[in-house]
Amino acid sequence: MAESLSTLTSSIKEELLNRIRQLSEVIKPIPTGYSTHLRKLNNIKAVVFDVYGTLLISASGDLGVAQKTDNESAFREALTAAGISHHLQKAFIRGSDLLLSKIQEHHEKEKTKGVQHPEVDIRDIWKLVFESLLKSSLIDEKVTDQQLLETAIEYECRINPTWPMPDLGYMLNELTERNIKLGIVSNAQFYSPLLFEAYLEKDLLELGFPQDLLFWSYQQQIAKPSVDLYERIHNQLNEQYDIKPDEVLYIGNDMLNDMMPASRLGFKTALFAGDKRSLRLREDNEMCRDVKPDLVVDQLMQLVECLG
């Protein structure tokens, strides 16, 4: 199921958006108490963002992280909501275990090929899970593509509720009005772009993100902290927009996944310390020992002030 969201019919897409809205509740960031470091940065022509924990509050602190007991409960509720007939508690236990094991199998297989930080397309994983459950007679019939998408969203919204960071839309609008190019490099899945449209009533293009500056891990098949993800957007910014590394600001909440690879390529960096759930300082990680962000912000609008 490698097709993009652009191939979805408008009715199916709207159903998915509405379900995200119905499953979502307001979440407020938890202050970190971490000291900010604000200063003016000149000649920044592009700002590239992480998503979970930076642009979006992530209740679990990251993409798809939850306890096993939560997984089983979420799996049951997701199948029921998507209208998938199932049998016994065993279906939920087996299904949630399969979801995790299939991801692990994919990672191990790709690592044997030399991919240091592999990523899955979660739609492919769900397909394998449903095939196994059907073979074991734990579900009644083959799951449709639409049911698969619905289940994936129902599940993710339960184990990892999200909500926009304060002033997200306003900040993006301020940067686009200054003709600053906006991009994304993020660990993500097919539903990640939909979250913006569900919450802000605009898709990413309408919010100022050109399609060629969106680098999602599930599409690239590699995940952070791989420097390859950052090299790909670096090449695109250079070749298509003539923007050099020191004219790019990357903002994220994780010293290892965000600050380290971005700084290696010569990007300016901003550590987002706005939510205790997701701030990852990685103080014991040697790879982060000499990494010093150019900015530390705890509110998105501080970016606008620093680029003023």
Q: What is the pLDDT of residues 20-56, one digit of tens each?
A: 999 999 999 999 999 999 999 999 999 999 999 999 9
How far are the Cα atoms of 77, 237, 295 from residue 300, in angstroms, in the given order?
34, 23, 12
Instruction: Tell me if the bond preceding 210 is cis, omega within 30° of 0.
Output: no
**C-alpha 54 chain-centroid distance:** 10
How many other C-beta atoms can be found within 10 angstroms of the C-beta atom of residue 161? 16
Q: Which of 109, 108, 89 minimizes the C-alpha distance to 97?
A: 89
Question: 201 phi and psi, to 5 degrees?
Answer: 65, 20
Please give the Cα distance from 80 to 76 (Å, whole number). Answer: 6
Domain boundaries, the chain: 5-63+161-306, 68-159
pTM above 0.85, yes or no: yes
The pLDDT of residue 67 is 47
- What homologous superfamily is domain 5-63+161-306 in, according to CATH? HAD superfamily/HAD-like (3.40.50.1000)
**Span 268-290, pLDDT tens digits:** 999 999 999 999 999 999 999 99
